[in-house]
Structure 1
Amino acid sequence: MLIRTATMKDLEAVAAVEAECFPPAEAATKEAFAKRLEYYGNHFWLMYDGDKLISFVDGFVTDEADLTDEMYEKAELHKEHGAWQMIFGVNTVPSYRKRGCAGELIKRAIADAKAQGRKGLVLTCKDRLIPYYAKFGFVNEGVSESVHGNAVWNQMRLTF
């Protein structure tokens, strides 16, 4: 398995994996991913099995301490030297789940954020995933203000 950051050439594959992993109300569009790749492709961690994208983690960097819904839509808010690495999506195609793919990418994102001198990482997740992210050191801060996809999200933070 190859792990690398993204370029615009990965747009079709990233959009296809997102559509396979999230319901339409929660999935980012191809257009949104084009903006994300333009502004922070180096904050996409991709896992390929041969030439097939099987998993990815993405999110931008900001000085804001909390993840807001506006961040999903406005890639231009990315600040390369910001304090916090946000995680907007953790995606693994269904046929590759339960193999540790996403976990490897989360570990890489954590290691890169630490090496880059960030304060830590922030993500939001549904209740059922709180124990999963806690395994990596994320602490649940409670229900976030996010209404993304008309779902209830918990904010979790890993502070270095």
Structure 2
Amino acid sequence: METNQKIRTATSSDLDCVAAVEAECFPAAEAASKEEFAERIAAYGNHFWLLFKNGKLVSFMDGMVTDTPDLADEMYENAALHDENGAWQMIFGVNTIPECRKKGYAGQLIRCAIEQAKKEGRKGLVLTCKDKLLHYYENFGFVNEGVSKSVHGNVVWYQMRLTL
């Protein structure tokens, strides 16, 4: 990792910068609201991985932990579904601001989440992505399980699973 960058988990003081990065990375129909992030950070801030470069948030990843094996739309909206002792680390979003893409930041966060899931004894990690990103997540060992039941943002999503 470069000396001018740092990865850490989120606290409520990160709410504004997390919401700003989300808004820059996703269309409004797919982006989480500031209120949803406030609930998520309160419930599972230790499952938000933030990458700062020169003190600015440039990339982050978040998701709850659950015993439910498949990612469901209700998980995005209901932070109370988080179970710290759950078997599966869900990944809701991998966000990197446009001018910092293709520099490996998201990959660092994905590897960080995988390491944490291993240390915490999880069965694995689950995410959904658009078809153009299937190959990207396959590089980390995720396996495409086909079209997800998710209709989040009225987009076709594919469920990907990395079993540890």
Band the TM-score falls in, shorter-chain normalisation: over 0.9
Shift of 1:50: 2.1
- What CA distance in whole angstroms lies between the structure 1 residues aligned with 2:153 and 2:37? 17
Cα deviations across residues 99-147 of structure 1 (Å, max 9, x unaligned)?
0000000000000001100000000000000000000000000000000
Percent of aligned pairs with the same residue? 69
Q: Does 1:83 align with 2:87?
A: yes
Give the superposed CA RMSD.
0.4
Shift of 1:45: 0.3
Shift of 1:51: 1.8
Structure 1 segment 43-82 matched on structure 2, within 5 A: 43-82=47-86
Q: Which runs of 4+ in 1 moved over 2 A?
A: none
Q: Work out the number of aligned pairs and report it.
A: 160
**Counterpart in the other structure of 1:145:** 149
**Counterpart in the other structure of 1:136:** 140
Q: Residue 33 of structure 1 is aligned with which of 27, 32, 37?
A: 37
The answer for unaligned runs of 5 or more in structure 2 is none
Q: Residue 123 of structure 1 is aligned with which of 103, 107, 127?
A: 127
TM-score by length of 1: 0.99
Cα deviations across residues 36-89 of structure 1 (Å, max 9, x unaligned)?
000000000000012210000100000000000000000010000100000000
TM-score by length of 2: 0.97
- What CA distance in whole angstroms lies between the structure 2 residues aligned with 1:77 and 1:38? 13
Amino acid at match of 1:89: G
**Counterpart in the other structure of 1:108:** 112
